[in-house]
Each structure stands twice: as C-alpha cells, then as structure tokens.
C-alpha cells in the first residue's frame, strides 16, 4: 500500500492519496482544488488516480474532486446519504453505509457518520494482502484529534435554522458507534489545529480509535446525551462568512479551474481607474510594512496562512479585487484563493510605489505601544475595542473593552464611536491591522492600533476581566 498525507496549512485541511502499488491505481480523499499536487504524486510513484472520494459536502474549502476527475478520468465516489436536500447535483457514483469501494487490493468500507452534516461518511480502509482487519479510518469532519466536528455550521454559516440540535444528537449516535471500533485502527481526520470546523483540534496529524477513547472529550459522555449536546454546541468559533458559499459550490455543478492562473499586472493608470470604480485593493504585505505606508482605502490582509480565511470574510464571490503583492508570492496567494473559490482577481501591483508614482501620498497607521495604551486607559473619552472572537473575549479581556469581532466589523460600524478616540486590538496584531484598515477605509479618523494586543498585555502581567 502507498499512503501520503497532503496538508494545507492555510486552511488546516488534510487530504489523502492512497494507492495499491501492485495494481498501480490510487484513490484521493477530500482533494483541495489545486490538484497538481496529486498529479505529481501519481507521476512520481507510477500510479494512476482512478478513484476520487469525499467525506461530505464541505463548507470550509472548495473541493477539487471534479477538477481531479476531469483531468484523470477518475470516478467520483460521493455520499448518497442524508436524505432530501443533501444530494450532490452532478454526476457521480453514489455510496451509502456498508458499501465497499475497491482500489486494486485495497477496500474502503463506507460508514455513515452524520452529525457534522447529515450526509457525512467515513472510509474504513483494509489492506487486503496484509490483513483482513481494517487499518485506517478517514473520518473527514467526524472525529478529529482530540475533538469532533461541529454540528452548528449549517445553522450559523448557512442559515439552516433548527439543524444544530438535530446534528448534535446525530453526532452523539455516531460517536457511540465509533466507540465500538477496534482500538488499533488509525484515525486520519480532515482537519487539524486552526480549523474553524471544531473548537479544540489537536496539532498532530493522526491518532487511533483507542487513544481517542482515552483523551477525546466527546467519548467521555457515554450515557449522557444532554451533557454531550450542551458541551458540543457551546463556545464554537465564529464560522467564516464564505462557508455558506462553499456549501453551495461543492454541491451544485460549477465551472472548473484545472490549473493555477497567472495574474495580470496593472499599470498605475489601470490601478487608478479600477479604484475610481470602487474595486477593492487588498494589501498582502506584512502588517508592519502596511503601517509604514499604505494606499488609502486598501485593506491589509497579510499573505500568511490565514490569508484565505480573512479574504473569505471580507470579499464576495461577485466582486473583483486587486492584490498588492510581489511576484514571488503570487503562486502561493493564488492557490490559497483557489481553495475557497475566490477566482475574480482583477489584477495586481507589486508594491505601493505605483500609487506614489501617480503623485499621491501614502497613509500611515497610528500604532501605539503598551505604555501608550496604559496612559490612554487612565483617561476618559476613549473607546477600547477588542476585535477577537467571542470565546477569546470571554476568556480574558481588558477591563472596559467593548467587543466587536473583526469578521463582522463592517456590519457593526455603528458600534464604533466617531466622536471620541478609539483604540483597537486583537491577540497579536494581525486582526487589528485588518480592523484598522477597514475603519480608515470607512472614514474613521480617530483610531489607534495597540498592535501588541492581548498576547503582550497578558505576558507582561497586566490584569484581565473574564466572563462566564
């Protein structure tokens, strides 16, 4: 058996390439959209991708199953579980609980594991030449390392009211069946630490059924469904806005993108004309570089591992946008955008010099230090705004700070005061840089950014307030 774990750090998303070396055939489970990764693995190992499978209709990334099938001729094996409204709306090989998929000498038994979503399935792998016992389980968003999939995404992100309680109870039943599996079976989940698909995902890539029975909170609630449901639904992180669109695009037929596209370089005249039309400019530089000088009205979303997630919060799928990004970063940035379906890149400029070449001036961010922040706290008529998530805020915040999650900041501008000084902060400055750029874009002149944030504040022994 050939096995390779493919991990996308930007979305904390795992996919799997599993092949039968004797037959020279392979299956890919939950592929990302830039599928050249799998084609290269197949080429290097003299294998043909004949099967593509998904564990469920994903919400957090745009699946590359159709792109991979189009390029290789592989058949797609997708869930036909879940009932009405949970069926894929394009040609595929439908599978249900108990079905077996054969890939050379390998067998994958389909197990219906609803809870995260009604149609969710897992795959139990047996390497037949080696043993008649299953060796691996690919759980998607069912069981993670130390956590389980959240059942509230359909309601919180996609607006499907009343689904989270049903999903939580389904998850309880699925976990009860998981508890019956042999301890030695390896568990390979769809996500790792940093994903918004759970609240306490572990950082190691895999686990075993036996270890999860010992350390996963969800398996400690035997014969206590109410307690399980309550804990599962409380304090989940805010689901990114783009999740609802992912659910749709992963379910319906759509346009395929089978290669990584090149970006168009804009002249200074084209940049100005585009900005005059209201096209957004996304500055992907480091927050420190942005603070030193930025194009007025641009939004600072750094091109790091969180780039795609924040782009999904602040851009729609209909609007074009411009990137400020040096050429060496393009391949990485475009792949991250592809993975959530943000394909509408109008063009790019390599740096902000293009703006000054037009005779314009750059703006500078008003970034303050910890000592300056402390001095401000001693005065009146200053609003302190914590831009972190709700659970982070509850765990500990600066006394008197208001809470506005940065992802929903544009919907809550009325909560930010224009008639007095405002100091914003987050945990370590990344989200605060996004928030600062958004507030300036919307005409706020009185904002200061305490970039050190709660990380610096707490590490230096300053007091915090907690909420139950």
* CA distances from residue 87 to 49, 157, 182, 377 in whole angstroms, order as listed: 24, 19, 31, 55
How much is the average pLDDT of 316-320?
95
| Shared domain check, 117 and 31 | yes
Is 425 a member of any domain?
yes
* Max Cα–Cα distance, the chain, nearest Å: 74
466, part of any domain:
no
pLDDT(434) > 70? yes
Same domain, 187 and 304: no
Which token pair is 148?
A: 């389980």
256 within domain boundaries: no
In angstroms, what CA-CA distances link 401 with 375, 443, 454?
A: 15, 22, 12
148 and 236 fall within a common domain? yes
Enclosing H/E stretch for 281: strand 280-283
SS3 at position 12: coil
Q: What is the pLDDT of residues 328-343, one digit of tens each?
A: 999 999 999 999 999 9
Q: What is the CATH number of the domain that holds 332?
A: 3.40.250.10
Close Cβ partners of 14 (under 8 Å, ≥ 6 residues apart):
5, 6, 7, 8, 30, 188, 189, 190, 191, 192, 205
Residue 42, in any domain of the structure: yes
Do the domain assignments include residue 257?
Answer: no
CA distances from 205 to 144, 306, 404 (A): 9, 19, 33
Domain count, the chain: 3
- Residue 336 backbone phi and psi in degrees, to 5: -65, -40
Q: How confident is the model at residue 157 (pLDDT cuts 50, 70, 90)?
A: low
In terms of domains, do 352 and 371 share one? no
- Tell me: do 207 and 114 sit in the same domain: yes
Look up the domain containing 290 and give its range. Answer: 268-357
Does any domain span residue 260? no
Rounded CA separation 151/197 (Å): 9
For residue range 255-280, list pLDDT tens digits in order: 999 999 999 999 999 999 999 999 99
Domain's final residue, options 357, 379, 394: 357
* The predicted structure's pLDDT at residue 137: 98
Q: By CB neighbour count within 10 A (0-12 exposed, 13-18 middle, 19+ buried), where does 43 fall?
A: exposed
Q: How confident is the model at residue 254 (pLDDT cuts 50, 70, 90)?
A: very high
C-alpha–C-alpha distance, residues 450 and 401, integer Å: 13
Give yes or no for a contact between 298 and 281, defined as CB atoms under 8 angstroms apart.
yes
Residues 276, 340: one domain? yes
**DSSP helix/strand/coil, 273:** helix
What pLDDT score does 239 carry? 85
Q: Please check whether residues 337 and 400 belong to one and the same domain.
A: no
Q: Are residues 340 and 408 in the same domain?
A: no
Same domain membership, residue 345 and residue 371: no
pLDDT in tens, 441-466: 999 999 999 999 999 999 999 999 99
Note whether 294 and 221 are same-domain residues: no
Mean pLDDT, rounded, for 283-305: 98
280 and 321 belong to one structural domain: yes
Residue 158 has pLDDT above 90, yes or no: no
Contact 341, 62 (CB under 8 A): yes
| Residue 263, in any domain of the structure | no
pLDDT tens-digit map of 350-405: 999 999 999 999 999 999 999 999 999 998 889 999 999 999 999 999 999 999 99
Q: What does the pLDDT look like over 131-143, one tens digit per residue?
A: 999 999 999 999 9
Alpha helix stretches (DSSP H) within 49-152: 65-72
Residue 415 CA to its chain's centroid (Å): 27
The DSSP-derived string for 359-416 is T---B---EE-HHHHHHHHTSSSEEEEE-S-HHHHHH-B-TT-EE--GGGGGGGGGGS
CATH number, domain with residue 23:
3.60.15.10
The answer on 325 and 392 residing in a single domain is: no
- Report the C-alpha dihedral over residues 439, 444, 445, 446, rounded to 10 degrees: -80
SS3 283: strand
Residue finishing a domain among 189, 221, 249: 249
**How far, in Å, CA of 269 to CA of 251, rounded?**
40
- Listed range (105-114, 179-188, 239-248) with the worst mean pLDDT: 239-248
Listed residues 217, 249, 281: the one ending a domain: 249
The mean predicted confidence, pLDDT, of the chain is 95
Element (H, E) at 299: strand 299-300
Helices 65-72 & 36-44, crossing angle to 10 degrees? 50
Categorize the per-residue pLDDT at 153 as very low, low, confident or very high, splitting at 50, 70 and 90.
confident
Cα 49 → chain centroid:
26
Pairing relationship of beta strands 75-79 and 106-112 according to DSSP bridges: unpaired
Q: Residue 159: which pLDDT band, with cuts at 50, 70 and 90?
A: low
pTM: 0.94
Cα Rg, the chain, nearest whole Å: 24
For residues 310 and 302, give the distance between their C-alpha atoms in angstroms, rounded to a whole number.
Answer: 9
Output the CA torsion sign for 279, 409, 316, 354: positive
CA distance 427 to 443: 24
Q: Decide if 11 is inside a domain.
A: yes
Asked if pLDDT for residue 156 goes beyond 80, the answer is no
């Amino acid at each position: 058996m050939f096995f390779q774990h493919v991990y996308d750090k930007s979305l904390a998303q795992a996919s799997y390439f599993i092949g039968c070396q004797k037959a020279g055939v392979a299956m890919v489970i939950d592929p990302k959209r830039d599928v050249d990764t799998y084609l290269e693995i197949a080429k290097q190992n003299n294998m043909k991708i004949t099967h593509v499978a998904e564990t469920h209709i994903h919400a957090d990334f745009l699946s590359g199953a159709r792109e991979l099938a189009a390029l290789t001729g592989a058949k797609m094996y997708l869930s036909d579980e879940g009932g009405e409204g949970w069926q894929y709306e394009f040609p595929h090989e439908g599978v249900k609980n108990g079905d077996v998929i054969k890939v050379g000498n390998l067998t994958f038994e389909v197990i219906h594991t609803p809870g995260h979503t009604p149609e969710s399935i897992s795959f139990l792998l047996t390497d037949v030449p080696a043993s008649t016992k299953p060796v691996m389980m690919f759980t998607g968003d069912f069981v993670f390392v130390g956590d389980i999939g959240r059942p509230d995404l359909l309601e919180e992100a996609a607006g499907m009211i009343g689904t989270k309680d049903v999903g939580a109870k389904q998850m309880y039943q699925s976990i009860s069946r998981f508890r019956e599996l042999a301890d030695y079976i390896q568990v390979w989940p769809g996500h790792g630490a940093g994903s918004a698909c759970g609240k306490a995902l572990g950082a190691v890539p895999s686990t075993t059924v036996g270890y999860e029975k010992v350390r996963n909170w969800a398996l400690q609630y035997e014969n206590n469904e109410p307690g399980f449901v309550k804990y599962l639904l409380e304090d989940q992180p805010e689901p990114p806005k783009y999740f609802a669109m992912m659910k749709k695009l992963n379910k319906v037929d759509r346009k395929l993108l089978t290669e990584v596209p090149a970006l168009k370089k804009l002249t200074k005249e084209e940049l100005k004309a585009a900005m005059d039309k209201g096209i957004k400019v996304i500055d992907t530089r480091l927050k420190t570089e942005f603070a030193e000088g930025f194009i007025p009205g641009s939004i600072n979303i750094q091109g790091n591992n969180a780039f795609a997630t924040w782009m999904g919060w602040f851009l729609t799928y209909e609007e074009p946008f411009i990137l400020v990004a040096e050429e060496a970063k393009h391949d990485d940035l475009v792949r991250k955008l592809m993975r959530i379906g943000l394909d509408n890149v109008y063009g790019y400029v390599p740096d902000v010099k293009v703006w000054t070449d037009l005779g314009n001036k750059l703006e500078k961010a008003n970034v303050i230090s910890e000592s300056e922040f402390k001095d401000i706290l001693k005065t009146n008529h200053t609003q302190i705004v914590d831009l972190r998530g709700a659970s982070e805020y509850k765990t500990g915040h600066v006394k008197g700070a208001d809470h506005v999650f940065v992802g929903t900041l544009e919907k809550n501008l009325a909560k930010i005061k224009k008639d007095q000084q405002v100091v914003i902060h987050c945990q370590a400055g990344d989200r605060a840089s996004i928030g600062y750029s958004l507030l300036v874009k919307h005409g706020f002149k009185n904002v200061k950014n305490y970039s050190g944030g709660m990380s610096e504040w707490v590490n230096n022994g300053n007091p915090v307030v907690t909420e139950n």
